């Protein structure tokens, strides 16, 4: 049967090999599964903890098929896997979430169009390819605005804010013909996310609303539970459930929202995988987002997402290494702080190297503790 449980002892396949695959693999191994990972790189965060690391390009479809023959199910840890790769894998093993989820979410214009056509709230947008398109979009939606490449963007890559029609035209004229999306600027109060999961039987679970702060377009701090009114939390979860059901997701998906100053929720982006803002679930919830991804793609019952304690997660970027090795003992000395490093050999500016999770009695206390722990990393190791 297509939805029969894939039991412990089976081998799972992961397309991609970064930190999300690493944390998925650690959850899978704890539950008795084997994991094979496939990506163009070697000695990767996932490969370091997987049973087998296959190094090949995603467009090597024969290698993809051979990979899929050796596993019981295929999942992925980033959404920019080519559609042909997912289709080739699906010839030999179920791919969860399915290729149609990838098709929608790896392309900003398709994603926004899907949301709008299905009645989900989003900022106004237009497709642009030429400077004239940009001029018309600016006339229609106004400025300031944000212009983004339609494909292959994350952590702020491929996007820029424009403050006038002339800037909009200039941004597009730099590389005419590239498919872009022009989005009306949102003067938001905060950014929040809901990470959720859907099983093969349609069951649904979530980890509540998470409050997110960004720096240079990269997530800096996540706090759970978010300090939002109950009606906002209820609405965010309902929108998230609707999106997972409409896309027929099997696995984990994150919905990123803007919360406007007038109290309106707007969907900003979808991520069809575990999400950076959900990393704190490893330490603060009965079932983490990574274990839930495994349960969902293996057709097991979804686990409890009860929160054990309020938590905050602070990202650790390569910038922390600019003065030498961070002071790990100082951060680890703080009660309630957990350290997660991803096994990346080279610390580069803006590269996600790990994260700290802090647990406390309130969300505010957890946030302060996570930030203090990160500050401690920059103290002198000899002090």
348-359 pLDDT tens trace: 999 999 999 999
Token representation of residue 132? 């004239």
Beta bridge partners of 54: 38
Residue count (the chain): 383
Q: What is the pLDDT of residues 236-295, one digit of tens each?
A: 999 999 999 999 999 999 999 999 999 999 999 999 999 999 999 999 999 999 999 999
> 44-48, 153-157, 247-251: lowest mean pLDDT where?
153-157
User: What count of other Cβ atoms lies within 10 Å of the Cβ of residue 283?
Assistant: 18
pLDDT at position 176 is 78
Q: Which range, of 9-23, 161-175, 205-219, averages the lowest pLDDT?
A: 161-175
pLDDT at 381: 61
Listed residues 184, 199, 219: the one ending a domain: 184
Q: What is the reported pLDDT for 152?
A: 65
Cα separation, 79 vs 97, whole angstroms: 10
The pTM of this model reads 0.95
Q: Are residues 365 and 216 in the same domain?
A: yes
- Residue 198 and residue 162 share a domain: no
Per-residue confidence band for 1, with pLDDT thresholds at 50, 70 and 90: low
Pick the more confident residue, 154 or 39: 39
CA distance 383 to 374: 16
Residue 193, pLDDT score: 98
Stated as kind and residue range, the H or E segment containing 13 is: strand 11-15
Task: Average the pLDDT over 292-319 and give the result.
Answer: 98
pLDDT for 78: 86
* CB-CB contact of 241 with 233 (8 Å): no
Give the Cβ contact number of residue 348 at 10 Å.
Answer: 12
Number of domains in the chain: 3
Mean pLDDT of 12-23: 98
Q: What is the largest CA-CA distance in the chain?
A: 61
Are residue 245 and residue 324 in the same domain, yes or no? yes
Which range has highest mean pLDDT (78-87, 180-189, 272-281)?
A: 272-281
How many angstroms separate the CA atoms of 83 and 90, rounded?
Answer: 11
The domain that holds 148 is classified in CATH as 3.30.1490.20
Whether residue 248 lies inside any domain: the answer is yes
Q: How many CB atoms lie under 10 A from the CB of residue 211?
A: 21
Model confidence at 97: pLDDT above 90: yes
Token readout for 149 is 């490449």
Structural domain boundaries, residue 18: 11-95
Query: Do 364 and 313 belong together in one domain?
Result: yes
Cβ neighbours of 231 (radius 10 Å): 9
Gap between the terminal Cα atoms of the chain: 61
Cis peptide before 97 (omega within 30 of 0): yes
Q: Are 104 and 97 in contact (CB under 8 A)?
A: no
DSSP 307: B
Q: Considering the chain, what is the average pLDDT of its residues?
A: 94
What CATH number does the domain containing 53 carry?
3.40.50.20
What is the C-alpha to C-alpha distance for residues 292 and 282, in angstroms, rounded to an integer? 11
Domain edge (last residue) among 184, 210, 225: 184
Per-residue model confidence as pLDDT tens digits over 109-128? 999 999 999 999 999 999 99
Kindly report the number of other CB atoms within 10 A of residue 304's CB atom: 10
Output the DSSP codes for 320-346: GGTTSS--HHHHHTSTTEEEEE---S-
pLDDT above 90: percentage of residues in the chain: 89
The answer as to whether 103 is a domain residue is: no
- Does residue 67 carry a pLDDT above 80? yes
Q: What is the pLDDT of residue 217?
A: 87
* DSSP string of 63-78, one letter each residue: HHHHHHHT-SEEEESS
**Do 52 and 72 fall within a single domain?**
yes
90 and 148 co-located in one domain? no
* Strand ranges, E, within 164-310: 180-184, 188-198, 204-215, 218-224, 251-260, 265-271
Residue-level pLDDT at 154: 58
Q: Is there a domain that residue 101 lies in?
A: no
């Amino acid at each position: 049967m297509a939805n029969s449980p894939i039991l412990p002892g089976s081998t799972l396949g992961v397309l991609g090999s970064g930190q999300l695959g690493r944390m998925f693999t650690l959850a899978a191994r704890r539950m008795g599964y084997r994991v094979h990972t496939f990506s163009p790189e070697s000695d990767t965060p996932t490969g370091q903890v997987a049973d087998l690391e296959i190094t090949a390009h995603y467009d090597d479809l024969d290698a993809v098929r051979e990979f899929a023959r050796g596993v019981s199910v295929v999942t992925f840890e980033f959404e920019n896997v080519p559609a042909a790769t997912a289709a080739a894998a699906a010839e030999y093993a179920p791919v969860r979430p399915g290729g149609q989820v990838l098709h929608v979410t790896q392309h900003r214009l398709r994603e926004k169009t899907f949301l709008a056509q299905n009645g989900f709230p989003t900022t106004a947008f237009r497709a642009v390819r030429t400077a004239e398109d940009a001029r018309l979009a600016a006339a229609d939606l106004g400025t300031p605005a944000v212009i983004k490449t339609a494909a292959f963007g994350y952590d702020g890559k491929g996007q820029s804010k424009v403050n006038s029609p002339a800037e909009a035209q200039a941004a597009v004229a730099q590389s005419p013909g590239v498919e872009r999306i022009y989005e009306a600027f949102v003067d938001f109060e905060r950014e929040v996310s809901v990470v959720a999961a859907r099983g093969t039987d349609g069951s649904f679970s979530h980890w509540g609303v998470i409050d997110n702060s960004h720096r240079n377009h990269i997530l800096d701090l996540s706090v759970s539970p978010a300090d939002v009114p109950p009606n906002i939390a209820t609405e965010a979860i309902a929108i998230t459930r609707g999106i997972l059901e409409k896309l027929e997701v099997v696995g984990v998906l994150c919905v990123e929202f803007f919360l406007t100053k007038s109290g309106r929720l707007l969907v900003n982006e979808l991520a069809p995988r575990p999400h950076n803002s959900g990393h704190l679930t490893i330490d603060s919830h009965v079932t983490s987002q990574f274990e839930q991804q495994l349960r969902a793609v293996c057709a097991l019952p979804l686990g409890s997402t009860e929160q054990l304690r309020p938590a905050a997660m602070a990202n650790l970027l390569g910038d922390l290494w600019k003065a030498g090795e961070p002071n790990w003992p100082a951060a680890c000395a703080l009660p309630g702080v957990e350290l997660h490093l991803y096994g990346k050999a080279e610390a580069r500016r803006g590269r996600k190297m790990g994260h700290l999770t802090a647990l406390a009695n309130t969300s505010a206390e957890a946030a302060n503790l996570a930030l203090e722990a990160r500050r401690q990393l920059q103290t002198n190791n000899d002090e």
